[in-house]
Each structure stands twice: as C-alpha cells, then as structure tokens.
C-alpha cells in the first residue's frame, strides 16, 4: 500500500475548513439530517413540485432506483462488507489482523505490507496470506446485493479496497470491478518482474513455504498493493466513472485510505451519496453535501433495509441460495 494509504489525517487537516475541529463542530452528524435540494428529475419522481428543502432519505434513494432515475451506480466498498464473511477488519483492536502480529517478529503490524520489510522477512506476510486462501471465506448477502445491482444493469463500477476476492466470488465480472488495492488473482517476482503462476504460488503458501520465482529464485509476491507501490492501472477508470455516476453507494469503509477515500468527493454535487457504515467518517462527516444519506449501524441491517425498500428481498434471497449452493457444489 502506497504512501497515500496512510490514514488520511493529513488530508483531513488540509481539506476540512478548520480540519478536525470543524468535524467536531458538526453536531448534525450525531443523527440529524442535513437539508436537501432535490433536482428537477428527483422532484418529478416524488411529485413534490420541486420542493427544494426536502431531505433525502434511504427510501427516496430506493424510489430513484425503482423509477430508473439512477441507473449508473458507482459503489465504493471497504473491509466492513467482508466482516460478515468472517474476515476481521485490519484495524479492529483485539480482533483485527494487525493485532494477530503483535507477538510475531514484526516491528509494527503495518510492516507486513511494507515492501522493505517484506523483502527482509516475507514470512509474516505469507502467514497472513495463507488465511486468505480463496475458498476460506464466502461472499455474504452484501456481496450478493452488489451482484443483484450488476444483474439489473445498474452497476457502473464497483471500487473495492478489499483484497479477499469476494466480489469476484459473488459473480461481479472483471469489467465492472476495480480492485483498487490489488488482489491475489495474479503474482509477480519481486526481482525479475516476471508473472508467476498463481497455482504454484498458493501451493507454496499453503505448504508454509515462501514462493520463489522459477527463473531467478526471487520472492514472488501477489499483486496486492503494498505501502509505497503504485495502484493498478484500472484505478484510473475513476476519472470517467465518478463524473458520470448518478448514484454513489459507499459501504463498510471508514474512508481512511487515500487516494481511495477522496473518490467519495468525485461525483457531481447533484448526485446522491449513500453512506452505510458503523459510524460517520471521511469527507461525508467533515464536508457533507445536501444529498448525502447516512445509514449508520450494522451494515447487513442497512443493506437489508435498502433491499426491502427496493422490493428485492425475495430476489436476493433466491440469488444467495442459488449461488451459495453452487459454491458448496464446487467444494465437493
Ligand atoms: Zn524472478
């Protein structure tokens, strides 16, 4: 993960008028809703004659989707969508992956994702990687909600910070996916730069061996973005995706990692932003917009609520049953 991947405290100070103090001064994010100006298109959906003081709620967003007023949905997701699959959040005290390295030969938890430390001692990273073996974790209802968006032709692009591959496992096609921090789907030699076969990589990792290049014996690293590394080329799609989006869904991310976090500001100001997370965070907390909808609390509950408002509950249930049945079948 690159230098941008540091917690975006610096960005908060730079961007927030008054920085963190400005954030603290915004009491309306304790639960109250900011006022909203609906666009002409939105007003026509609700038939309110253009009441520009009407607030936007989750139900309104569901109506916009149902009325096909939003058909180019960009989604940003983080670790929070994977915790219901049993993958602990990296940074959760006591339960996160970082905590599990406190007793290993690691100077500080983040070091396992730093190239310098990795080249010095790759074993802690591969110990962690072993836990992420494809198939160890399954997509959950949130991943399948995103799949449903795709199946209905509403998903313009899904930007994920997760490297667990559960979006792919849920059936989101590569063309709709931007794995902003890379994935385990490919691997590269850290010395000669040759692509290494993923099957061989996993065979070594599962056997508790450090995978090495068949050509130069250099350590092979999955194409996960470490601190100090460049983001995948596909991340550049944001330049066209966000300005053309008509709805932004942000799920399960505290928006702490740059430049990913800043994407939340890249949609047009008229575009509704729906933020579902345990707590308010990032620019939606310290620089809110009039069309923001904050749905705070348990993420699965929030997604369930939106699905219900959309009238997709049965359809989603069927999809989950069908897909989890297929995944189980592949294991046999
Ligand atoms: Zn090599």
Higher pLDDT, 273 or 36: 273
The pLDDT of residue 36: 28
CB 281 within 8 A of CB 256: yes
pLDDT of 128 over the 70 cut: yes
Read off the pLDDT of residues 133-157 as tens digits, 9 standing for 90 and up. 888 899 999 999 999 999 999 999 9
pLDDT of 238 over the 50 cut: yes
Comparing 13-22, 185-194, 299-308, which segment has the lowest mean pLDDT? 13-22
Cis peptide upstream of residue 259 (ω within 30 degrees of 0): yes
pLDDT of 84 over the 50 cut: yes
In CATH, the architecture of 55-86+140-181+233-331 is 3-Layer(aba) Sandwich (3.40)
Which pTM value belongs to this model? 0.80
| Distance from Cα 72 to the centre of ligand 1, integer Å | 42
List of residues 6+ apart from 110 with CB closer than 8 A: 98, 227
The pLDDT of residue 89: 67
Distance CA 293, CA 331 (A): 40
pLDDT of 240 over the 60 cut: yes
Read off the pLDDT of residues 272-285 as tens digits, 9 standing for 90 and up. 999 999 999 988 99
pLDDT of 243 over the 90 cut: yes
Distance CA 6, CA 161 (A): 13
Q: What one-character-per-residue DSSP string does 103-171 give?
A: TSS-SSGGGGGBHHHHHH--HHHHHHHHHT-TTSS---HHHHHHHHHHHTT-EEEEEE---S-HHHHTT
| Distance from Cα 210 to the centre of ligand 1, integer Å | 13
Read off the pLDDT of residues 302-327 as tens digits, 9 standing for 90 and up. 999 999 999 999 999 999 999 988 76
Q: What is the mean pLDDT of residues 213-219?
A: 96
User: Which 3 state secondary structure label does DSSP give 248?
Assistant: strand
| Distance from Cα 187 to the centre of ligand 1, integer Å | 11
The pLDDT of residue 107: 84
User: Which 3 state secondary structure label does DSSP give 266?
Assistant: coil
The domains of the chain are located at: 55-86+140-181+233-331, 88-136+182-224
The pLDDT of residue 105: 76
Read off the pLDDT of residues 188-207 as tens digits, 9 standing for 90 and up. 999 999 999 999 999 999 99
Is 279 labelled as part of a ligand binding site? yes
Q: Which two tokens stand for residue 310?
A: 């959309």
Distance CA 79, CA 252 (A): 6
List of residues 6+ apart from 221 with CB closer than 8 A: 118, 122, 187, 188, 189, 190
The pLDDT of residue 305: 97
The pLDDT of residue 306: 98
Is 262 labelled as part of a ligand binding site? no
pLDDT of 24 over the 70 cut: no
pLDDT of 10 over the 70 cut: no
181 a catalytic residue: yes
pLDDT of 17 over the 70 cut: no
Higher pLDDT, 328 or 25: 328
| Distance from Cα 222 to the centre of ligand 1, integer Å | 13
The pLDDT of residue 104: 66
Cα 231–chain centre separation: 15
Is 37 labelled as part of a ligand binding site? no
Is 70 labelled as part of a ligand binding site? no
User: Which 3 state secondary structure label does DSSP give 179?
Assistant: strand
Distance CA 79, CA 290 (A): 26
- Residue percentage of the chain with pLDDT more than 90: 65
Q: What is the mean pLDDT of residues 18-38?
A: 29
List of residues 6+ apart from 87 with CB closer than 8 A: 79, 137, 164, 166
Query: What mean pLDDT value characterizes the chain?
Result: 82
Distance CA 58, CA 21 (A): 29
Which residue out of 103, 120, 181, 238 is catalytically annotated?
Answer: 181
Q: pLDDT tier at 95 (50, 70, 90 boundaries)?
A: low
CB-count burial class (<10 Å; 0-12, 13-18, 19+) for 104: middle
Distance CA 16, CA 23 (A): 8
Comparing 76-80, 124-128, 240-244, which segment has the lowest mean pLDDT? 124-128
In CATH, the architecture of 88-136+182-224 is 2-Layer Sandwich (3.30)
């Amino acid at each position: 993960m690159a230098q941008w991947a540091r917690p975006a405290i610096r960005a908060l100070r730079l961007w927030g008028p008054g920085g963190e103090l400005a954030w603290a001064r915004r009491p309306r994010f304790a639960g109250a809703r900011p006022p909203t100006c609906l666009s002409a298109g939105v007003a026509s959906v609700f038939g309110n004659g253009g009441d520009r003081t009407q607030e936007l709620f989750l139900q309104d967003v569901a109506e916009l989707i149902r009325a096909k007023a939003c058909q180019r949905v960009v989604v940003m997701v983080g670790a929070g969508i994977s915790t219901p699959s049993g993958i602990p959040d990296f940074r959760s005290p006591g339960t996160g992956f970082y905590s599990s390295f406190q007793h290993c030969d690691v100077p500080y938890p983040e070091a396992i994702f730093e190239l310098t430390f990795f080249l010095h001692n790759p074993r802690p990273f591969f110990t962690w990687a072993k836990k992420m073996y494809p198939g160890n974790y399954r997509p959950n209802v949130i991943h399948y909600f995103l799949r449903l968006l795709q199946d209905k032709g509403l998903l313009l692009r899904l930007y994920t910070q997760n490297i667990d591959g559960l979006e792919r496992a849920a059936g989101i096609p590569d063309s709709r996916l931007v794995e902003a921090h890379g994935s385990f789907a490919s691997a590269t030699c850290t010395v000669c730069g040759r692509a290494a076969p993923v099957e061989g990589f996993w065979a070594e990792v599962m056997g508790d061996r450090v995978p090495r290049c068949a050509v130069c014996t250099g350590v092979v690293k999955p194409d996960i973005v470490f601190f100090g590394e460049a983001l995948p080329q596909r991340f550049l799609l944001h330049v066209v995706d966000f300005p053309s989006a008509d709805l932004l869904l942000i799920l399960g991310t505290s928006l702490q990692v740059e430049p990913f976090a800043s994407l939340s500001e890249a949609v047009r100001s008229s575009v509704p932003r729906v933020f579902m997370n345990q707590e308010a965070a990032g620019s939606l907390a310290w620089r809110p917009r009039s069309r923001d909808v904050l749905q705070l609390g348990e993420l699965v509950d929030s997604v369930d609520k939106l699905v219900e408002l959309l009238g997709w509950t049965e359809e989603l249930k069927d999809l989950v049953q069908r897909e989890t049945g297929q995944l189980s079948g592949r294991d046999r």
